[in-house]
Structure 1
Amino acid sequence: MRRLALTLLLAMGLLTGGALAVGRPAEMLPDPAAEARAQEIGRELRCMVCQNQSIEDSEADLARDLRRLVRERVAAGESSDSVRDYVHARYGDFVLLRPPFNLVTAPLWALPVIVLGLGALTLLRMRRRTAARPGPAPLSEEERARLAALERDI
């Protein structure tokens, strides 16, 4: 029974380890409101190593450094926008999980619409080709007789 309890405890620790990326007391701010604000900012910033994770979810060294930077600036009393703007100015649009809409990022935002439109056009063209294609020609008398003979042999 003890082994089972220890095994379950170990499994729970392994399963929640990645979810608590900021769970280290050394990284957390003592003020819960400031820590919540820092985590909110961190969830909007992309880990430059993992690329599909926020810095709050990533275990990469760069993400850890960015978390520390965000917390330092929040602790210094900067607003959320100024912290975000500082990181954005330093790392560019790529660091934002939701990049702004501008001339540089417009193709990124438009790409899903373009791909869906091209897919819809392709489906319409395929449908028209199928509808316009004539059906099979009717059997001639000779072919019908041959088919009847084959059916009798079966």
Structure 2
Amino acid sequence: MNRLAYLVAACVLTLASLLAAPAHAQANNDSTPLQFRDAAEEERLHDLTAELRCVMCQNQSLADSSAPIAHDLRREVLKLMREGKSNGEIKDYLVARYGEFVLYKPSVEPTTWLLWFGPALLLLVGAFVLYRIVSKRSRREIAAPNDDQEW
């Protein structure tokens, strides 16, 4: 009976994944380069997208990514810029849509304290542990002198 349950579960998962495949969002295949009104607009877009993470690549900025969704998001950011939105409003829009992950520098909030202060905390704990180990060894050497030496 257990084998039958596993077989049914595997069939259901396979069928569900096949049915869900067409539901994935399709990226806009418009690969035409962005047209800027002036150099200031181009620089602002590049500066802003350099502060944003590509939601597909995850290790590249939106400015550096060549993923289709990154191209679409750059278009979206340019559209929002032309609508008169500030950089903060554009970031807020993208955070609302994709979460804090889209920001390379997330805001300092209780939910991100571990992200911001975790490395320093680990460094302090490591230094404390190292200090304890070194001080215990030095105390042992002082407490138990070597009696094998002749004076």
> Is TM-score (shorter-chain normalized) higher than 0.5?
yes
Q: Which residue of 2 aligns with 1:36?
A: 43
CA deviation after TM superposition for structure 1 residue 54, in Å: 1.0
Q: How does 1:65-104 map to 2 (within 5 A)?
A: 65-104=72-111
Q: Which residue of 2 aligns with 1:139?
A: 148
SS in 2 for 1:104: helix
Q: 2:103 and 2:52 mapped to 1: Cα distance? A: 5
Q: Which residue of 2 aligns with 1:62?
A: 69
Question: Please, which runs of 5 or more residues in structure 2 have no aligned partner?
Answer: 1-30
Q: 2:92 and 2:149 mapped to 1: Cα distance? A: 78
Q: 1:26 and 1:67 mapped to 2: Cα distance? A: 10
2:54 paired with 1:47: yes
- Shift of the 130–28 alpha-carbon distance from structure 1 to 2, 3 Å rule, reads farther
AA in 2 matched with 1:92: G
| Maintained 8 Å contact 1:46/1:94 | yes
SS in 1 for 2:34: coil
- Shift of the 130–32 alpha-carbon distance from structure 1 to 2, 3 Å rule, reads same
Question: Please, which runs of 5 or more residues in structure 1 have no aligned partner?
Answer: 1-23, 142-154
Q: 1:50 and 1:125 mapped to 2: Cα distance? A: 42
| Maintained 8 Å contact 1:29/1:75 | no
SS in 1 for 2:111: coil
Between Structure 1 and Structure 2, whose CA radius of gyration is higher?
1
Q: 1:133 and 1:65 mapped to 2: Cα distance? A: 65
CA RMSD of aligned residues (A): 2.1
CA deviation after TM superposition for structure 1 residue 140, in Å: 7.7
**In the comparison of the two structures, how many residue pairs are matched?**
118
CA deviation after TM superposition for structure 1 residue 25, in Å: 6.7
TM normalised by structure 1 equals: 0.68
TM normalised by structure 2 equals: 0.69
Q: Which residue of 2 aligns with 1:122?
A: 129
